[in-house]
Amino acid sequence: MNIRAAWLNKVKWDEHGLVPVIAQEAGSNDVLMFAWMNREALARTVELGEAVYWSRSRKKLWHKGEESGHIQKVHEIRLDCDEDVVLLKVEQVGKIACHTGRHSCFYQKFEGAADNGTWEAVEPVLKDPEHIYK
């Protein structure tokens, strides 16, 4: 794996060497999740054909699905017009992208008005997280 490859230089990495990444389901176009990548994560993603992110909390590479089995097979990688956001078009294995056991991490919808609104869960839990992670 060559993390010095010229194509990686086109990406505008932030001051921490990271770029925001949106994972979108190929076909349905559902936005599944948001994460971060460093140069090595993006290079590994291209090499493996599966999503590899940078975990800011664990400070290490995170191969999506390494514990749960819910990997993301990458169909396409795009860079936005400002070259500072990556979009992955993925096939979500097992239909669960979120650690809460839901299809998408964006399962909470704002309902109501600005002065008395609430966030409502609008997507079901497909599998109890206690049965996904050991």
Query: How does pLDDT run across 12-26, given as a tens digit for each residue?
Result: 999 999 999 999 999
Classify strands 72-79 and 86-92 as parallel, antiparallel or unpaired.
Answer: antiparallel
Report domain 6-132's class. Answer: alpha beta
What pLDDT digit, counting tens, does each position of 67-119 carry?
A: 999 999 999 999 999 999 999 999 999 999 999 999 999 999 999 999 999 99
Please, what is the Cα angle at 35 between 29 and 37, to 5 degrees?
Answer: 115
- pLDDT given for residue 1 in this prediction: 77
List CB contacts of 28: < 8 A, sequence separation 6 or more.
Answer: none
**What residue ranges do the domains of the chain occupy?**
6-132
